[in-house]
Chains A and B, each alone.
Chain A
Amino acid sequence: MSETAATKKKILLIDDEPFITNLMAMNLEDTGRYEVREQNDSLQALDTIMDFVPDLIVLDVMMPDLDGADIIYRIKNDSRLKHIAVVFHTATVRDAELSVHGGIISGFPFLPKPATTEQMIAFIEKHLPA
């Protein structure tokens, strides 16, 4: 079943909680379909994106230093990165929360926490660029 490294889709997980990215990474890798990398320090997120060049980023919203809105803003304003698909994975999917972040986040797909691995995979597949 497992695909060769070249055909595996690259997924980057950005969340300040290492336990969550660690578990997500193991569950996603176990499908044999993804190459996964984790980043728990929001300040290093941009460097990791440049370096890893993922197909899709799963991004937390509430993080210290740079939050999800800051990061998406930078991605979408960088011609080298703006093609990358971004989805949010967050505990707080609320209108109030969206407006607090200047509405920047509102255009992007959300996967609410807690999500099962099955839901996560379906969500990722739906938003992965062809």
Chain B
Amino acid sequence: MSEPTAQSPRPENTLRQLEEAGALSHFASSIAHEVCNPLSQIVLATDLLAGPRPLNEDLRKKITGFLRQGADRIDKAMKQMLRACAPIETSMTPENVNTLLDDALAASGAAAAASIHVEKHYGGSLPPVLVDRQHVTEAITHVISNAIDAMMPTGGTLTLKTELKVFESSEREGWQRQSWFRAGDRAVVIEITDTGHGIEAAKMPLIFEPFYTTKPAGKGAGLGLTVAKKIVDLHYGRLEINNRREGGVRATLTLKTASHI
């Protein structure tokens, strides 16, 4: 399991890459937004309490409401953030990716959406992957949910494809051991494509960042891909998201097969 030290993850390097992509400052400003707005509410409510306005029952209720709601919002933001950063416990079992995809599809509600046409191109007799079934299903569900969101309300086609891939040469991204594949490695590749609005090129470096969302408040927390990536990393797999030339997005999830973990 242990790699030579030269290949182990280098957090400081990863941090620098994030900073260069503007992602760290995005993370900081997202947290600032999630915390400073309710904080502002709390400060202003205490000012009102200390101010000249006579404190009748109505005002008292209103102020306690402002204070409570502000505190709850900060609490929620912190819990979401901690959840996104918390370690994940895994229990690995050999699984068929086609089954995982079907479970994720059902969980995302895609099959139920009338305007979404689902196309499946599943590879036959794929070798099993050794994964935490619940977590990997969750990761795929996040990706499918994004695909559906991007196609709504007009609708579109969601294509799910699985196939076996044998690496001809070794591949890795940056310093991350997680996405390191060696020549001869066998992996199962899951492709999830949509015909939605795609992702603005300048925003690509941000999509895995916690709290990055283009969805309205209350709709998206901006944590789906953060969690999905974290789960995939835990499995030493790879999750890539790209715009398609034809429009829409292609998500590619690569997981090593059981015999290679």
What number of A-B contacts does a CB cutoff of 8 Å give? 73
Which residue of B36, B39, B44, B216 is within 8 Å of A27 (Cβ)?
B44
CB contact list, B30-45 vs A, under 8 A: 32-33, 35-37, 39-45
CB <8 Å contact, A23 and B45: yes
Number of interface residues of A (CB under 8 A): 23
Q: Could you write out 7 A-B pairs with CB less than 8 Å apart? A: A27-B44, A30-B53, A62-B33, A64-B217, A91-B32, A91-B40, A114-B42
Which residue of B26, B28, B48, B52 is within 8 Å of A23 (Cβ)?
B48
CB <8 Å contact, A94 and B28: yes
A interface residues (Cβ-Cβ under 8 A, vs B) = 16-17, 19-20, 23-24, 26-27, 30, 62, 64, 91-92, 94, 96-97, 112-118
Check: B205 CB closer than 8 A to any chain A CB. no
B interface residues (Cβ-Cβ under 8 A, vs A) = 22, 25-26, 28-29, 32-33, 35-37, 39-45, 47-48, 51-53, 66, 69-70, 216-217
CB <8 Å contact, A96 and B29: yes
CB <8 Å contact, B32 and A114: no
A97 to B32, alpha carbons, bound, how many Å? Answer: 12
Known: A30-B53, A96-B22. A91 touches B47 (CB 8 A): no
| Pairs A-B, 4 closest by C-beta atoms | A91-B36, A23-B44, A96-B25, A114-B40
